[in-house]
Amino acid sequence: MDYHIERLPSGLLLFKITRAEKRNAVNFEVMEGLQKAIDRAQSTDVRALVVTGEGEQAFCSGGDLSVFHALRTEEEAYSMLSKMGEILYNLAVLPKPTIALINGAAVGGGCEIATACDFRIAKIGAKLGFIQGSLAITTGWGGGTLLFERIQAPHALKLLSEASIYRAEQLDQIGFINQVVDEANEAEAEQFLEKELSIQSEVLSAYKQIQIRMWEVSRLHERMMQEVRECTVLWAKDEHHQAVDTFLNGKNNH
Ligand SMILES: CC[C@H](C(=O)O)C(=O)SCCNC(=O)CCNC(=O)[C@H](O)C(C)(C)COP(=O)(O)OP(=O)(O)OC[C@H]1O[C@@H](n2cnc3c(N)ncnc32)[C@H](O)[C@@H]1OP(=O)(O)O
């Protein structure tokens, strides 16, 4: 399996991408697993959902380029992008606390997954970046739209437009990372939520619903799907396919 789902004794549900050899890149199996974890998290025996990656080197390196580079047309791209866009919307509106436990590099769609969570805890020194622009596309799973919901607009616009890599400590300063930790292990996630876990789940859910209602009014889902559609157009262009080929050829020539 390319993912692992486990309910911890504390009541946290852990979703872990287990593709360390590919820096926990997202393929269709990982997408389906994330949706399964979101569905499982609806159960009353789950207090919160934690998303993380296997190993010490990466949280998630975004879409699996060795799989998704085969998607050439707008129709093919939209099918994948919209599937994950819906899943990240479902993650964002889960009426329970969600944490991205960033155990290593989070780039591209990996940053989008982290942005769909309420909170981001990152290992000191972890590298993060919305690098989609360097592949001649925008964010395509709704993560750009969500970023403008999480941090101040000037910071969001700069992170997306620069398409650069930053360290967790830098992003802590602008509020994208909520806590920088030594290991980014389960105990640190549980400690981050320690006070919430002593509060009735109905209270936590009611507070999350305030945010969800705001997003209903501001049409978050529609805005995320518009981002998906705009990425779809860019995806099908030669510039994107050439950028991906360059990455893959570079790896093949190692
Ligand atoms: C809408 C979202 C959008 C999408 O595609 O759907 C995106 O997510 S666009 C962004 C796609 N992701 C990337 O461009 C990231 C590419 N990877 C890297 O930049 C680096 O691998 C990094 C920074 C994540 C980690 O660097 P490190 O030096 O630690 O590892 P290596 O680069 O040597 O990679 C090890 C191994 O993993 C394979 N790998 C890494 N990332 C991906 C990926 N996204 N898809 C497929 N495979 C990936 C890499 O090819 C190496 O494989 P190997 O067989 O050992 O050569």
Determine whether the shortest distance from the Cβ of 22 to ligand 1 is under 6 A: yes
How much is the ipTM here?
A: 0.98
Dist. CA 69 → ligand 1 center (Å): 12
Residue to probe by mutation, ligand 1, list 24, 65, 160, most atoms within 8 Å of CB: 65
* pLDDT at residue 253 in the model: 67
Helix or strand holding residue 50 (H, E): strand 48-53
Nearest Cα residue to atom 12 of ligand 1: 62
Residue 254 has pLDDT above 60, yes or no: no
> What's the whole-number mean pLDDT along residues 223-234?
98
Residue 247 has pLDDT above 90, yes or no: no
With beta carbons less than 8 A apart as the criterion, state whether 61 and 105 touch: yes
Listed in sequence order, the residues at least 6 apart from 169 whose beta carbon sits closer than 8 Å to its beta carbon are: 124, 125, 177, 180
Q: What is the pLDDT of residues 157-166, one digit of tens each?
A: 999 999 999 9
Listed in sequence order, the residues at least 6 apart from 243 whose beta carbon sits closer than 8 Å to its beta carbon are: 134, 135, 136
DSSP 26: B
* Band of residue 236 on the pLDDT scale cut at 50, 70, 90: very high
Q: Which CATH number fits domain 3-196: 3.40.190.10, 3.90.226.10, 3.30.420.40, 3.40.47.10?
A: 3.90.226.10
Nearest Cα residue to atom 17 of ligand 1: 61
Determine whether the shortest distance from the Cβ of 227 to ligand 1 is under 6 A: no
Which residue from 57, 53, 56 is spatially nearest to 34, judged by alpha carbons?
Answer: 53
Determine whether the shortest distance from the Cβ of 126 to ligand 1 is under 6 A: no
Bridge partner list, 225: none
Mean pLDDT, the chain, integer:
97
Q: What is the pLDDT of residues 164-199, one digit of tens each?
A: 999 999 999 999 999 999 999 999 999 999 999 999
Determine whether the shortest distance from the Cβ of 63 to ligand 1 is under 6 A: yes
